[in-house]
Amino acid sequence: DDGVLRVGTEGDAPQFSMADANGNVTGFDADIANGICAELKVKCKFVVQTFSSLVPSMDKDRFDIIISGLGITDERMKKIDYSIPYATTPQYFVVPKDSPLVGLKSLAEIEKALAGKTIGVVNGTTYAKFIKKHIPTADLKTYDATTQQNSDLGTGRLDAAFGDSPTWVDFLGSPDGANFARIDVKVTGADDHEALGYGMGVGLRKSNTELKAKLDAALCEMINNGKVKAASENWFKDDYTIPCKK
Amino acid sequence: MSPVLKVHELRKAFGATSVLSGVSFQMRQGEVISLVGSSGSGKSTALRCINFLETPSSGEIEVMGDAISVVQNERHETEIVNAANIRVFRRRIGMVFQSFNLWPHRTVLGNVTEALIYVLRKDKREAEETALSALSKVGMADFSHRYPSQLSGGQQQRVAIARILAMRPKLMLFDEPTSALDPELVGEVLKVIRTLAGEGATILLVTHEMRFAREVSNRMIFLHKGIVEQDAVPEELFCNPASEAVNRFLSSVISTAA
Amino acid sequence: MSPVLKVHELRKAFGATSVLSGVSFQMRQGEVISLVGSSGSGKSTALRCINFLETPSSGEIEVMGDAISVVQNERHETEIVNAANIRVFRRRIGMVFQSFNLWPHRTVLGNVTEALIYVLRKDKREAEETALSALSKVGMADFSHRYPSQLSGGQQQRVAIARILAMRPKLMLFDEPTSALDPELVGEVLKVIRTLAGEGATILLVTHEMRFAREVSNRMIFLHKGIVEQDAVPEELFCNPASEAVNRFLSSVISTAA
Amino acid sequence: MDLSIITYAVPFLLVGAKTTLLIALFGVGLGLPFGILVATARTSQVATIRRCADFYCAVFRGTPMLVQIFVIYYGLAQIGFIRHNAILWWLIGDSLHAAVLAVILNTGAYTAEIFRTALLSLPRGLIEAAEACGMSPWVIFQRIKFPLALRQALPSYSTEVAVIVKESSLASTITVLEITGYAKRLMSETFAIMEIFVITAVFYLVINVACLTALNVIERRLSFEPRYAR
Amino acid sequence: MLNDIWVLMVEKGWTLALLRGAGVTILIGVLGVVIGLASAIPLAILRWRRLPVLSQLVDAYSIVIRGVPGLLVIYLLFFGSVDWVQKIASAFGYADSAENAYPFIVGIIAIAAISCAYSVEVIRGALQAVPVGLLEAARSLSLSPRLTFFRVTLPLALRLALGGINNVWQMTIKDTSLVSVVGMQELMRTAAVAAGITRSPLLFYCLAAAMFFAMTAVSQILFNRAEKYFNRGFSRR
Ligand SMILES: Nc1ncnc2c1ncn2[C@@H]1O[C@H](COP(=O)(O)OP(=O)(O)OP(=O)(O)O)[C@@H](O)[C@H]1O
Ligand SMILES: Nc1ncnc2c1ncn2[C@@H]1O[C@H](COP(=O)(O)OP(=O)(O)OP(=O)(O)O)[C@@H](O)[C@H]1O
Ligand SMILES: [Mg+2]
Ligand SMILES: [Mg+2]
């Protein structure tokens, strides 16, 4: 309204949502937000807050939408509404380079091999649920940030970690990641929609149908005109766009 | 002349143990009375009840015409009639404690000026002058900038006395004011008390020094197990003890003195 | 026989104020000595230096053959020679404080048994028996389950005395042990001290009650401004005062007594 | 509020509560004696001991517990020597052990300050009375100093216990699944942030009310002064 | 390595950001403690005098606030009230200033409420430990209750409470990190954001810790002075 769209975002997620020292937000989420604002001919105003306060703050009208790489799941849809999904990143397991697991060929094989092992995932994602469901015997560790998870991989506290491909591209490319490799089995939402959801969407308050319609239209336009792809390739070196169904 | 202090049927019990079982006496202006009796007979408790540091279980206390009485109501609760008078009482009464109770965070001078400044509303200069003159009466003027923890027992006791002297209350309660003092100082305190009485102050003191009591007081009250056994002029008490208890008590004075 | 206590050239200063300026005396076994002197003359400080609650500025103390000496080294620091003996001293010495210092969190019985159990390593039953017998010597057996805050001044003092009686130390230091006691109890304490001395204990006591001192002691030491003015048998002190200070002090005793 | 969330979340949080209690138990059980030890070190006559203890307290009280737990778990793990030393790695390699260690070190510093002031404010005469009896320093501490200091320190220490229980939630940042650990997981799963927050808080509240009430009772039991001035 | 740090801290401006965060932390921490302490003293007195009902209420307040995580206190305070505050502010035409100032106000109130609950216990404990006889002496000299409190009880109690107050202050300055949930960028939150996006968590967290340490080191000097002051007259041991 009054020409400003207030966007809640985390600000401390590398590549997705990064608030710099002056509070300016950049990253994939920021590109999506700016794109939407441009489509809707409004100005974007970013509000940077901790992840756990994003949803209550939006409920109390501190901002209108959340763009913070939110994965769409049925469970979460009970609390907030989502736009159409605009992107999805595939997930991979990462293990030490010399591990026999590196050569595994399918999710089923991985599930069997990792039974009883220690696996790390990052909070704020739905991966914990996925691991719990598929490898119930695993010792699951949840981290607040990928850097922490990767640090534990490095010190050998973890046998494997599960995360999305941008994270791994980043980590495996860094010196710390030199001794690790990802298992080349792409896990996507299609493998288990209930646990992994339907890709990323913009979050908004329940029953705000008018805004949802506008967002959906704007996102669809951005998907179709390649803006999402451009953003994805800019930040992730890959195209993770989900086609617009309409 | 109406009495300065009138204690009527004062009773006090701590839980089940009864300490005072109906104490009554009166004091006229300028009178000095010694409250004597064996250890644990309730002397300190009686003093503390008079200015309501301890709430009596029942009884009436009248100070210069104003009275406070304590009654047990039908639900066996203690009820203070005219509790507002407590402040009035305390303005008229000064007390020297058996354990001195000097404030450790204030110097000797501060201990004495405190009430002068904040109760009598003297200005600081005047209060300090008054305090120093009171301190010199007990030979403590040289120690005015010490803290209580840096004083000997007798020195602390003298500061506690000076704290009250400076206030010049109408009625003074002394709880064993000479217990830590050497004979020389006991003589000094004797003089001070006589002067005070001569100037019109009324003094009730607890003491174990029978000679001192005999010297200083117009009347002596012998307390035994919470009851007044004898209330008489010193000569009478010494020559004509009213009961076996008084007799035994006094005879031991004489035998120790022998 | 070697002396039980030997104090040699004991000096103590608090900052710039010198309190003890070279005190020396000796005590043989079974002796009772009264330390007398005016308020602030350094009596309590002398007692406290003997068991090193206060570290002397210099001097030597010998208890039953073991000695601790304090010297000022070249950098003007106080240095204790044989500091390890302090614990030994304290086991042999018992002390009754001028301000009682009862432990508020322990009952009367607990105050007395504490050291019996944790220093003399008696078992609990035995300790309680010993404690009760000590308490009954001062008439406090009935109060064994009270807390110190529920006692009168004289009762607290008697518990403090019982706490030491129960320990039966070789050397006992009493700091004004009768200041809060009535004449009857003073007589009792007199008896207790005589019995202790008869049983071989050595007793050094500070007191302001000259008659008591005269009765109880083999020798009296008159302290004045941190110096021993006279050290003599009581008769000698009273009849033949060595200096003007002693004379004045004693004359006031007599005048108050008159 | 959505009731189904409660029935869904509570079983998880109950499991987490066991871990929270475990951490708190160690925090109090080991942190209290450790803190008192540090407090006595801070009142020691030996300057070196005193300074070391002061420094430890300054560091652990002066920096956020989050950083302490991070440095202990992630930071120390970077050091090869620690990783290859069996005892040290047992201590910090396991996230629960590291959390307990961090909680003890943190509460130790605060407890030390509480007991230091309590010890310093004890009336000198009471300790002299014990010394004069020939009690050893340890007996004096155990029978006189500690019981008296404890009575004075209890109101402040009860707060510290509540703080331990709450700060144990930081263990979740090093993957320990105590109450908050599960709560975080549940929040990201359901986005029912407020609901889960409130349930979680009720868990902490229940634990702490139990602790604080127990400590209040102990405080009343220990009080020997029947009369307080009004 | 050093070069990287230089780039992060200076060229990317994180030093300034951290300092800004530290400013917010100090402001909220100091206000929180001062307000908390000021309100804790009367509450502690109620509790100490055992006034019926009131003392139980204080007890309940202190147990609940100490018992629940601080995050919930601020969550409930903020999200429970922001609706109607916004409405009222809009009605008076101050919607914008309310929007901007309200998180700050709630932040301070929440921090003060928490530190108050802690301080109540500290001060109550200290009040209880003041020897009764010293108060009786004041009373028998007929110092009014108010004067007795301010001239005798409080100075003696503060000496006993100093260590506890110091603890509360040290806890509170770190509790300020809670205000990040209402969108304020204090020191810890700034460090967390920096840690997240620069991937140097240890560097930034340790920097934040160092800044906290510097703050408390300065405050420790003041507390040491105060301790000396309050201990005057008491024999050392
Ligand atoms: N900590 C201290 N600092 C400074 N001076 C002190 C200190 N303690 C005691 N004094 C001084 O030392 C002197 C001797 O004190 P001490 O307690 O030994 O006297 P005393 O002979 O026992 O007197 P009393 O009979 O009054 O108890 C006194 O003048 C006292 O003021
Ligand atoms: N708080 C209390 N609880 C129970 N009993 C108490 C309490 N205070 C005092 N008493 C008892 O009351 C009695 C009288 O005490 P009080 O202090 O009045 O004695 P006193 O005559 O002053 O004795 P002293 O000469 O020894 O000072 C004593 O037996 C004492 O034990
Ligand atoms: Mg008495
Ligand atoms: Mg003395």
User: Could you read off the pLDDT of C10-38 as tens digits, one per residue?
Assistant: 999 998 889 999 999 999 999 999 999 99
Closest ligand to residue C152's CA: 2
Structure token digits, residue A67 = 């763009």
DSSP 8-state secondary structure symbol assigned to residue E235? P
- E55 vs D contacts (CB less than 8 Å): none
pLDDT band at A103 (very low <50, low <70, confident <90, very high): confident
Q: Is the pLDDT of residue A18 over 80?
A: yes
pLDDT above 80 for B239: yes
Q: Per the CATH hierarchy, to which homologous superfamily does domain C28-53+87-257 belong? A: P-loop containing nucleotide triphosphate hydrolases (3.40.50.300)
Instruction: Single out the residue of D158, D176, D30 nearest to residue D106, CA to CA.
Output: D30
In whole angstroms, give the CA distance from residue B65 to residue B12.
23
B53 to chain E, any CB pair closer than 8 A? The answer is yes
Query: Does E223 fall in a domain?
Result: yes
Residue whose CB lies within 8 A of the most ligand 1 atoms, among B151, B158, B161, for a mutation test: B151
CA distance C26 to C205: 14
Distance CA B202, CA B173 (A): 9
Q: What is the pLDDT of residues D152-168, one digit of tens each?
A: 899 889 999 999 999 99
Are 3 or more Cβ–Cβ pairs between A and C shorter than 8 Å? no
3-state secondary structure labels for all residues of chain A: CCCEEEEEECCEECCCEEECCCCCEECHHHHHHHHHHHHHCCEEEEEECCHHHHHHHHHCCCCCEECCCCECCHHHHCCCEECCCCECCCEEEEEECCCHHHHCCCHHHHHHHCCCCEEEEECCCCHHHHHHHHCCCCEEEEECCHHHHHHHHHCCCCCEEEEEHHHHHHHHHCHHHHHEEECCCCECHHHCHHHHCCCECCEECCCCHHHHHHHHHHHHHHHHCCHHHHHHHHHHCCCCECCCCC
Cβ distance E189 to A50 less than 8 Å, yes or no, reads yes
Which residues fall within 8 angstroms of residue B108, CB to CB, at 6 or more apart?
A: B135, B140, B143, B144, B145, B146, B147, B148, B151, B159
**Has the ipTM of the complex gone over 0.85?**
yes
Q: Over the stretch B108-140, which tens digit does the pLDDT of each residue have?
A: 999 999 999 999 999 999 999 999 999 999 999
The kind and range of the H/E element at B13 are: strand B5-14
Give pLDDT, residue B256: 52
> Best of D79, D92, D191, D194 to disrupt the A interface by mutation (most A CBs within 10 Å)?
D191
Name the amino acid, one letter, at C101.
Answer: N
Q: Residue A64 is encoded by which pair of tokens?
A: 């209108």
Report CA(C152)–ligand 3 centroid distance (Å).
Answer: 5
A51-55, B66-70, E214-218, range with the lowest pLDDT? A51-55
**What distances in angstroms separate CA D149 from CA B9, C93, D27, D126, one per listed residue?**
43, 27, 20, 12
Helix (DSSP H) and strand (DSSP E) numbers for chain C: 9, 11
Least confident range of B61-65, D28-32, E15-19: E15-19
**DSSP 3-state assignment of B228?**
strand
Residue B211: band (very low, low, confident or very high) from pLDDT cuts 50, 70, 90: confident
Q: How many CA atoms lie within 13 A of B152 on its CB side?
A: 25
Which residues of chain D carry a pLDDT beneath 50? 227-230
Question: Who lines ligand 2 at CB under 6 A?
Answer: B 14, 17, 19, 37, 39-45, 98; C 150-155, 180
Q: Whose CA is nearest to atom 11 of ligand 1?
A: B151
Average the pLDDT over B68-94 and give the result: 88
Q: What is residue E213's predicted lDDT score, i.e. its pLDDT?
A: 93
Phi, psi of D63 (to 5 degrees): -120, 155
| Mean pLDDT value of segment A165-180 | 86
Nearest CA to ligand 2 atom 18: B42
User: For testing the chain B interface, which of E140, E228, E230 should be mutated: the one with the most B CBs within 10 Å?
Assistant: E140
Q: Please, are residues B20 and B56 in contact by the beta-carbon 8 Å criterion?
A: yes
Res. E83 pLDDT band, cuts 50 70 90: confident
Of D129, D134, D139, which has the smallest distance from its Cβ to C101's Cβ? D129
What does the pLDDT average to over E29-47?
93
Rounded CA separation B68/B87 (Å): 11
Q: Does D58 touch chain E (CB under 8 A)?
A: yes
Would you say residue E10 lies in a domain?
A: no
pLDDT at E237: 39
Backbone angles phi, psi at A69, to 5 degrees: 60, 30
pLDDT tens digits along C159-191: 999 999 999 999 999 999 998 998 888 888 889
* Structure token pair of residue B222: 């012998």
Q: How many CB atoms lie within 10 A of CB D43?
A: 17
Residue A104 pLDDT class (50, 70, 90 cuts): confident
Residues 6 or more apart whose CB falls under 8 angstroms from that of C135 comprise C108, C109, C112, C141, C143, C144, C159, C162
Q: Is residue E13 situated within a structural domain?
A: no
Please give the residue of chain E at the shortest CA–CA distance from A167: E199
We report the CATH number of the domain holding residue E30 as 1.10.3720.10
From C44, C212, C252, residue closest to B152, measured CB to CB: C44
Name chain D contacts of C105, Cβ cutoff 8 Å: 147-148, 151, 222, 224
Tell me the backbone φ, ψ of residue C71, rounded to 5 degrees: -130, 160
Contact assessment for residue B216 and residue B32, using Cβ atoms and an 8 Å cutoff: yes
Give the per-residue pLDDT at B250: 83
Q: Domain for residue E75, yes or no?
A: yes
Provide the 10 A C-beta neighbour count for residue C61.
21
| Cβ of B30 below 6 Å from ligand 1 | no
Please list every residue in chain D whose beta carbon sits closer than 8 Å to the beta carbon of residue A144. Answer: 172-173, 184
Beta bridge partners of A66: A8, A203
Please tell me the distance from the alpha carbon of residue B101 to that of residue B103, in angstroms, as a whole number.
6
Which residue range is the domain that position D192 belongs to?
A: 3-229
CA distances from C252 to B210, B212, C144 (A): 16, 12, 40
Residue B52 pLDDT: 92
Question: Which among E1, E5, E2, E3 is positioned nearest to E198, based on CA atoms?
Answer: E5
Within 13 Å and on the Cβ side, how many CA atoms surround E62?
30
The total number of structural domains in chain E stands at: 1
What is residue C98's three-state secondary structure?
coil
| Per-residue pLDDT, A246 | 60
Residue whose entry in the numeric block shows the structure tokens 């809670």? E178
Alpha-carbon gap, residue A244 to A223, rounded angstroms: 7
Residues A67-74 have a mean pLDDT of 88
The minimal CB distance from D189 to the residues A56, A126, A144 is found for A126
Beta carbon pairs, D and E, within 8 Å: 141
Q: Is the CB of C207 under 6 A from ligand 1?
A: no
Q: Which of B64, B56, B47 is nearest to B6 (CA)?
A: B64
Q: Which residue of A has its CA nearest to D188?
A: A124
Measure the CA–CA gap between C49 and C135, rounded to whole angstroms: 28
Mean pLDDT by groups of 10 residues along chain C of 258 residues: 90 92 94 93 94 92 93 85 90 92 93 93 94 94 92 93 93 92 88 90 92 90 93 90 87 60
Question: What is the domain count for chain D?
Answer: 1
CA A106 to CA E10: how far, in whole Å? 47
Mean pLDDT score, B54-76: 90
Whether the per-residue pLDDT at B253 is higher than 80: the answer is no
Give the separation between CA C179 and CA C168, rounded to whole angstroms.
22
Does ligand 1 lie within 6 Å of residue C73's CB atom? no
- Side chain identity, residue A174: S
Residue C73 confidence (pLDDT): 82
Residue C257 pLDDT: 47
- The answer, yes or no, to whether E and B have at least 3 beta-carbon pairs within 8 Å is yes
Which ligand 1 atom lies nearest to the CA of residue B156?
26
Is the predicted pLDDT of residue E199 greater than 80, yes or no?
A: no
Helix or strand (DSSP H, E) at E204: helix E201-230
Q: Where are the domains of chain C?
A: 28-53+87-257
B179 Cα–ligand 4 center, Å? 11
B69–C contact, CB cutoff 8 A: no
- Separation of alpha carbons A126 and A234, rounded Å: 25
For chain E, which residues lie within 8 Å of any Cβ of chain B, measuring from their own Cβ?
Answer: 133-134, 136-144, 147, 151-152, 155-156, 159, 230, 232-235
- pLDDT higher than threshold 60 for residue B176: yes
H/E element, B46 = helix B43-50
Residue whose token pair is 């405050």: E219
- Mean pLDDT calculated for residue range B164-168: 93
Helix locations, E92-200, DSSP H: 95-129, 132-140, 145-147, 154-175, 187-198
| Averaged pLDDT of chain C | 91
Ligand 2 atom nearest to C182, measured from its CA: 25
Of the ligands numbered here, which is closest to the C-alpha atom of B39? 2
- Do the beta carbons of residue C214 and residue C238 sit within 8 Å? yes
The residues near C216 (Cβ < 8 Å, ≥ 6 apart) are C32, C34, C190, C193, C194, C205
**Whole-angstrom distance, CA of residue E41 vs CA of residue E62:** 13
Min Cα distance A70 → chain E (Å) is 17
B70: three-class secondary structure by DSSP: strand
Contacts of C173 (CB under 8 A, 6+ apart): C47, C50, C51, C93, C94, C95, C96, C204, C205
